[in-house]
Structure 1
Amino acid sequence: MVLMILVTGATGTIGSDVVRRLAARGEKVRALTRDPDRAPLPPGVEAARGHPRDLGAVASAMAGADAAFLVGVFGPEDADSDRGMAAAARAAGVRRLVKLSAISAGDPRTGLGGIAHGHGERAVRESGLEWVILRPSAFASNTLRWAQALRSGEPVPNMLGSGRQGVVDPRDVAEIAVAALAGPGHAGRTYTLTGPETLSPRDQAATLGEVLGRRVELRDLTPPQTRELLVASGWSEEAAEGMLRSVRFVAEGGNAVVTGDVAEVLGRPARTYREWAEDHQGAFGGDGG
């Protein structure tokens, strides 16, 4: 049976890969995006204009869908977007919701994003629909933020100290999202998705340096320096303070977690950070693609 699956956050790191994988399976895919004319969608994917905060657009996009992938938290102003999307899905007769959450969601020590994800998870669980929740750890792709500093020959700012995380390849997260959206056996499950080991920023820098064949240096930031950097980048004071709480949580070991959920769902080991770096070295000026 071919399903109609709505993907919100369809041009983001996970959403765009979910769209590609579903389309390759032959599923009908509708992609919710703020700018359909510029969205790089695969052939045959239906584009729907809107944002998870725009409940009218969400309601229209949900019409006729069998399942929906919810990417609802982008900042403090989006804290209730999951609840709105879940209500729209129920009204439209959607059968299954898969929510992209975050590791340690709901723990107040994780900051505003973690708290908002906790509210979103509750909305999905209370929706009356089939639900699956994905709680990924830090994405390997987060180190793409290092590319500009590396190209400039500058140390990479490190706000996490020596905090270790079960860094996960976003391709594994997308693959599991597709299985949860289009396959059986996942309803009512909450998967905590990590890589096979915990890594500190210096571990990642050392691995990336080996892959690129050059040293990757880090510059440790104090909390005031982190706040200054965030605000200079356009963050509000409230959002920056929330991020500092999350940074402290990670630095103190709160995300030093490894699970076997990726292997359980995919039937193979989780990809390592080294595998991700080797496949993306071109983004850092290396020889790969």
Structure 2
Amino acid sequence: MTILVTGATGTVGRQVVEQLVKRGAEVRALVRDPAKADFPAGVTAAQGDLLDPDSLRRALSGVSALFLLNAVVPDEFTQALIALNVAKDAGVGQIVYLSVIHSDVYVNVPHFAGKFGVERMIEQMDVSATILRPAYFMNNDLTIKDVILEHGVYPMPIGGKGLAMIDARDIGEIAAIELLRRNEASGANHVERINLVGPDTLTGADVAAIWSEVLARPIAYGGHDTGAFEQNLRHVMPGWMAYDMRLMSERFLSDGMVPAAGDVERLTASLGRPLRSYRQFATEIVASA
């Protein structure tokens, strides 16, 4: 059994690779430059690009399962459809796709709508597939830790509905478990969706309160100004992406990212341990600062 992991050098993909290796799987990682790849022993780096069908054909040769992760880029949807078509032609029978929670609800947010389109294609394929739908990554907040630590403000406009934030390490482990479960399962092909959530559904005020407790000093919530959020993001990312993130944050305010009944219990049972909490995440950040 060989599993191809795309996005293998990123926040989640690297966790998937490491968890698969721990479980004895044969892992092939798709990378643009194998010379720069730094993976655990035994992982094969396959040179390729999601917009290059020939390189995908080579990377998918002899592969039984695919972990498909697409970065938020302008051609994300095209990349995913090419990868799935080539995987189908190569006879890959098991797929785990990293989508996003409420992809069918946040219909005006470009990268959510694109992921939902990919989900629809997977439903039309004759494969055994798990669609993982993670909520907001706690790890996103690494990018604003200096604002929290130095200025005493939690600046993400996540609103008052609540987000069931999840740690990327938990996402990676659950993805590895699903890849191996899919490969070992027998019976008719089917598609299953799993919400990936953390143990707590937190508002902006909740997150600020956690930081206040961990740091033992007041941390304020920055509020709901999505326009200012977009303008700040323009300093570190292209305008189209900053606008995409603004649209997402507006849906945070209107809809939140709330788990369905039983989501937390299901994930806890799959992992065999509690999900990592935001408080644990914040404590680790402070300890390493």
The two structures have a TM-score, normalised by structure 2, of 0.87
Q: Indicate the residue corresponding to 1:119 in structure 2.
A: 117
Contact 1:100–1:134 (8 Å) recurs in 2: yes
Aligned-residue Cα RMSD (Å) equals 2.3
Contact 2:6–2:69 (8 Å) recurs in 1: yes
Between the aligned partners of 1:53 and 1:163, the Cα distance in structure 2 is 38
**CA-CA distance at 1:105 after TM superposition:** 1.1
1:106-145 alignment runs, 5 A limit: 106-109=104-107, 111-145=109-143
**CA-CA distance at 1:196 after TM superposition:** 1.9
Aligned residue among 237, 241, 244 for 2:243: 241
Q: Percent identity among equivalent residues?
A: 31
Q: Indicate the residue corresponding to 1:277 in structure 2.
A: 282
- Counterpart amino acid of residue 270 in structure 1: L
**Residues 154-212 of structure 1: per-residue CA shift (max 9 Å, x gap):** 63423333341011122221111111111245952110111122102332232234234
1:1-289 alignment runs, 5 A limit: 3-109=1-107, 111-153=109-151, 155-183=153-181, 184=184, 188-220=191-223, 222-236=225-239, 238-258=240-260, 259-260=263-264, 261-283=266-288, 285=289
Between the aligned partners of 1:244 and 1:81, the Cα distance in structure 2 is 23
**Residues 128-171 of structure 1: per-residue CA shift (max 9 Å, x gap):** 11111000111111211122324544634233333410111222
Q: Per the alignment, in what secondary structure is the counterpart of residue 98 of structure 1? A: strand
**CA-CA distance at 1:56 after TM superposition:** 2.6
In terms of mean alpha carbon deviation, does 114-123 or 56-65 score higher?
A: 56-65
Between the aligned partners of 1:74 and 1:51, the Cα distance in structure 2 is 15
- Counterpart amino acid of residue 232 in structure 1: H
Q: How many residues were matched structurally?
A: 281
**Structure 2 segments unaligned to the other structure (5+ residues):** none
1:173/1:51 CA distance change after superposition, 3 Å: same
Contact 2:171–2:196 (8 Å) recurs in 1: yes
**Residues 4-44 of structure 1: per-residue CA shift (max 9 Å, x gap):** 11000001111101101111222111111223222321111
**Residues 82-127 of structure 1: per-residue CA shift (max 9 Å, x gap):** 2111111111121100000100113344500100100111122222
**Residues 60-80 of structure 1: per-residue CA shift (max 9 Å, x gap):** 211111101000242232122
Contact 1:107–1:118 (8 Å) recurs in 2: no
In terms of mean alpha carbon deviation, does 212-221 or 156-165 score higher?
A: 212-221
In terms of mean alpha carbon deviation, does 6-15 or 80-89 score higher?
A: 80-89
Between the aligned partners of 1:49 and 1:212, the Cα distance in structure 2 is 44
- Counterpart amino acid of residue 22 in structure 1: L
- Counterpart amino acid of residue 162 in structure 1: G
Q: Per the alignment, in what secondary structure is the counterpart of residue 191 of structure 1? A: strand
1:200/1:5 CA distance change after superposition, 3 Å: same
Q: Per the alignment, in what secondary structure is the counterpart of residue 47 of structure 1? A: strand
**CA-CA distance at 1:219 after TM superposition:** 2.8
